Chain A
């Protein structure tokens, strides 16, 4: 008898919400690393808040904010090698930035430009996935190819708690374990799929335990503790690289903002719940530790925020200053070569543009 109620549930945590932790475990992290992790998380938070405001001002399109999930995203991405593959959903902006996506590139995307769809060459970041859990299978296939070619990259599928209800997630977990491929399933359990809370999504006490059914290791980590996320991800990535196969990581976190800019979370969440999670803010606990060690001051904080704000403004302005594409461009990326009927449609559009004198 396998009784899910008798499974021990442990959560990996190194730094608690007050910035305290086991000194021996903390000693594994250099001051330099802690500062870098904090700076990256703060940069991500500033960018997220700016993007939210810019959407409200009508300067960008629909946006899915990630505030509250910086430790999960930055911590996991910090454990990756530059040539590892990531397969993000639409909320993984911090992961993509950490993995090398230029901020200007993201502005092309949220302004609805075709150029926003093309990641620069050399970045192993797959285009943003809209269909929930579809990218988990792509990550498995990509990892499978790495294994067949004898290459050492790992692939990471990023997704949320809602995705674990989709069939593709289960097929991906199964294929990954059967073929023992170097893939990490990184689930940010932010506890809501738009309005549907975790308890309505699954009867499992944890997402991590779902790994067991596929013959895979699963681990539950405090997703608001960047140290724990990094350490857990590093171990998973190293194991995958050694050929020990896939792993499922559940990073327990909380989406402090709305699902997207088109959502009003007060309809389904009580303010007290949000306030409780604000006390567990991933940035706060690391800042407390840094200040206690004399590594960070309010002056540095203000300088960093100002610097990132300038960076956002510059990236936004560069994006809007660059040439916007036109309807003519959409015909070029459907097939390697446009079939006759498609080519005719493109010609029709070009003729009309010429007639009307539009660019």
Chain B
């Protein structure tokens, strides 16, 4: 996935001279995960900027760059650090269009790695997407595989709105996948049906997608035909794909790493209850991080959605 992300940025920088990259360690070092590897060499120090260590500064200056004609791709080194830039993202970038009644736009992309299972220090793993889906004006994109990552990132860079592009770091090098060499786009706001099924709908995004896809495959052998939906974007949300699936299966499980209470799973569950309550044959099940701060590495595997918790949830649903 990391190569797909790198290729998307490289190709967009080749296509559009307004596209620039800025962030901590993104230049000489090519990013702490090598996402921006080689960009400084190819495009020079007037397109790729190692910034001072200041998250609010990175987002705040990106806003100014964008309103004056540039297309900045900013990196927040780990999503847990984004709290230091909350005002600039949620109260500034998100509102530029509204605050100016359409006179100004803020076409920036903020890339950030997140997600658990990789034994990080504190505040490196937290999945904080719900903070931003609750901030009108921002788009939130959460790819789960290399193909989607490239197509969605190119779309995000070409988008006229600020896009938060969240990269599950566990999947950066988890598996390889054929990705077309030429640039391509995937529209923001289209979910992907990973596996079709009749018995239960499993909705996931980001790092929980490969997890639930594996379990769905295992469950097939046990006679449970699960449909797996990768939302890919939380804002805009592909509600039609969700409702169509729920109407078919009548059973719903939502799986995300973020803490359960107030997580985006709650929004999805509420939308389903508003629009397809009478298609449901069982209460909606949410498998999520527990309502604690992201824990220490020694216990994170038990905290995160894992095969045991997901299998138990499917069994519960299938009892109805």
Bound: A330/B136 CA distance, A: 12
Tell whether A143 pairs with B237 under 8 Å between CB atoms, given A127-B104, A334-B137: no
In the assembled complex, which residues on chain B have CB atoms less than 8 Å from the CB atom of A148?
20, 46, 65, 70
9 pairs from A and B in contact (CB 8 Å cutoff): A119-B100, A141-B62, A149-B69, A174-B52, A175-B51, A178-B52, A333-B101, A340-B189, A340-B239
Q: Which of B56, B63, B64, B67 has the most CB of A within 10 A?
A: B64
Q: What mask results when residues 47 to 73 of chain B are scored 1 for a CB within 8 Å of chain A, else 0?
A: 001011010110111111111111010
A85 to chain B, nearest CB (A): 7
Q: Are A333 and B237 in contact (CB under 8 A)?
A: no
**Residue A241, interface by CB 8 Å:** no
Residues in B165-202 with C-beta less than 8 Å from chain A: 189
A175 to B92, CA, bound (A): 18
A211 on the B face (CB < 8 A):
no
By a CB distance below 8 angstroms, the chain B residues around A178 are: 52
Instruction: Kindly list chain A residues whose C-beta atoms are within 8 Å of the C-beta of B235.
Output: 339
A50 on interface, CB distance cutoff 8 Å:
no
Contact with A along B155-168 (1 / 0, CB 8 A): 00001110000000
Interface status of A145 (Cβ within 8 A of chain B): yes
Binding site for A on B (CB under 8 A): 20, 46, 49, 51-52, 54, 56-57, 59-70, 72, 87-88, 91-92, 96-105, 136-137, 139, 159-161, 189, 235-240
Partner of A141, one of B65, B87, B102, B160: B65
Contact status A142-B52, CB under 8 Å: no
Is there an interface contact between A171 and B54, defined as CB atoms closer than 8 Å? Answer: yes
Chain B: minimal CB distance from A173 (Å): 10
* Main secondary structure on A side of the interface with B: helix
Check B103–A175 contact: CB distance below 8 A. no
B100 near A118: Cβ-Cβ < 8 Å: yes
Chain A nearest CB: distance from B277 CB in Å? 17
- Which partner residue on chain B sits nearest A118 by CB separation? B101
- Chain B contacts of A126 at CB under 8 A? 67, 100, 104
* A127 interface neighbour in B100, B139, B236, Cβ under 8 Å: B100
* Contacting pair A134 B139 (CB below 8 A): no
Q: 1/0 per position for A305-346, CB-CB distance to B under 8 A?
A: 000000000000000000000000010111110011110000
Q: Using A131-B91, A143-B64 as known contacts, say yes or no to A335 and B103 having CB atoms under 8 A apart.
A: no
Q: Is the CB–CB distance between B67 and A340 below 8 Å?
A: no
A13-38: which residues lie under 8 A (CB-CB) from chain B? none
A63 sits at the interface (CB 8 A):
no
Binding site secondary structure of chain B: mixed
Q: Is the CB of A145 within 8 A of B65?
A: yes
Please measure, in the bound complex, the distance between the C-alpha atom of A356 and the C-alpha atom of B240, giving whole angstroms: 30
- Tell me if A137 and B101 are in contact (CB < 8 A): no
| Max count, chain A CB within 10 A of own CB: residue among B52, B60, B63, B97 | B60
Query: B161: shortest Cβ distance to chain A, in Å?
Result: 5
Complex alpha-carbon distance, A115 and B98, angstroms: 11
- Given contact pairs A148-B46, A339-B237, A134 touches B92 in the complex (Cβ within 8 A): yes
Additional A-B contacts beyond A126-B100, A175-B52, A340-B239 (10; CB < 8 A): A114-B101, A134-B88, A134-B92, A138-B67, A144-B64, A168-B56, A171-B57, A175-B61, A336-B105, A340-B240
A188 an interface residue at 8 Å Cβ cutoff?
no
Q: Confirm or deny: A167 has a beta carbon within 8 angstroms of a beta carbon on chain B.
A: yes
Question: How close is B251's CB to chain A, nearest CB, in angstroms?
Answer: 23
Determine whether the beta carbon of A341 is less than 8 Å from that of B239: yes
The interface residues of chain A lying within 8 Å CB-to-CB of B57 are 137, 168, 171-172, 174-175
Contact, CB under 8 Å: A141 / B97: no
* CB proximity of B58 to chain A, nearest CB, Å: 9
Contacts of A302 in B (CB 8 A): none
Output the least CB separation between A158 and chain B (Å): 14
Residue of A nearest to B64 (CB): A141
Instruction: Confirm or deny: A232 has a beta carbon within 8 angstroms of a beta carbon on chain B.
Output: no
> Which of A85, A174, A339 has the most CB atoms of chain B within a 10 A radius of its CB?
A339
